[in-house]
Amino acid sequence: MPTPSASIRAPISFDAPTGAPGRATVVADEPGFGAWRSFLTAHARVTRRLDEELQAAHDMSLAEYDALLQIAHAPGRRVRMNVLAERVILSRSGITRLVDRLEADGSVTRVACATDARGQEAVLTDAGLERLRTAATTHIDGVRRLFLGKLDAAELDGLEASLGRVASGLTSGSRTAHEGCPPVDA
C-alpha cells in the first residue's frame, strides 16, 4: 500500500477540457484527494447551515458566536485582539470589524492595555455572555444534527485524532503565552 506522502508526490496531469481549447484544468485523482474534497464540501455546508440558523434565530453570525465563545473561555473573559484574531482565524482588520459589531450591540467592550499602549483587549459584557448562552442552544443543536449525528463514536474519535494532527502542525509561531494584557507588575 503506498504511503500518503508517496501519493502526494505523484505528478498531476493537466488536461484541456473538451470544448475549451487552451484552458487547462487540474484533476487530482491520487489517493486522498477524495477525502480532501469531501472535507471541504462538508465544512462549507455545515458552517453555512450553522451560520444561517444563528442568523435566523439570534441575528448573530457564526463568526460572532465563535468570537464570543473564545472570549468567554479566556481568563477573566478578556483576550487581546491579536490572540482573538488567531483563534477565530481572521485578519487583524477582520477581527476589528467583527469586534466593532459586537461592541455596537453591547456584547463586548474594548479596553486599552494598562501595560502596553499599543494593545487592546476585547472584554465580554454580561449582555454578551447572556447572548452567547441563548445562542448556544441553537448552535449546539445544529452541531448535533448536522455533524455529530451523522457519525458513530469510532468515526468521531478517528476524525478528531486525524484533524487534530493536521491542525497541530499548522499552529502559528506567533502565539502569545498570555491571552490578555500582561499584568501591571509583570
Residue 40: strand, helix, or coil: helix
Q: Which domain holds residue 121?
A: 32-168
* 175 belongs to a structural domain: no
- In the structure grid, which three cell numbers stand for residue 168, read together? 497541530
**Residue 65 to residue 77: CA distance in whole angstroms:** 14
Neighbours of 9 (CB within 10 A): 10
> What's the CATH number where 94 sits?
1.10.10.10
Q: Which residue has the cell 458552517?
A: 47
* 2 belongs to a structural domain: no
The secondary structure of residue 31, as a DSSP letter, is T
Residue 80: strand, helix, or coil: strand
The secondary structure of residue 74, as a DSSP letter, is S
Model pLDDT, residue 84: 94
The pLDDT mean for the chain works out to 84
Model pLDDT, residue 13: 52
Q: Which residue has the cell 443543536?
A: 141
Model pLDDT, residue 29: 73
* 177 belongs to a structural domain: no
Note the pTM of the prediction, 2 decimals.
0.78
* 125 belongs to a structural domain: yes
* 111 belongs to a structural domain: yes
Length of the chain equals: 186
How many domains does the structure of the chain reveal?
1
Phi, psi of 15 (to 5 degrees): -115, 135
Residue 58 has, within 13 A of its CA and on its CB side, a CA count of 23
Q: How is the beta sheet containing 120-124 ordered, strand by strand?
A: 78-80, 120-124, 108-112
* 23 belongs to a structural domain: no
Low-confidence ranges of the chain (pLDDT < 50): 1-10, 14, 174-177, 184-186
Model pLDDT, residue 137: 97
Model pLDDT, residue 30: 81
* 19 belongs to a structural domain: no
* 108 belongs to a structural domain: yes
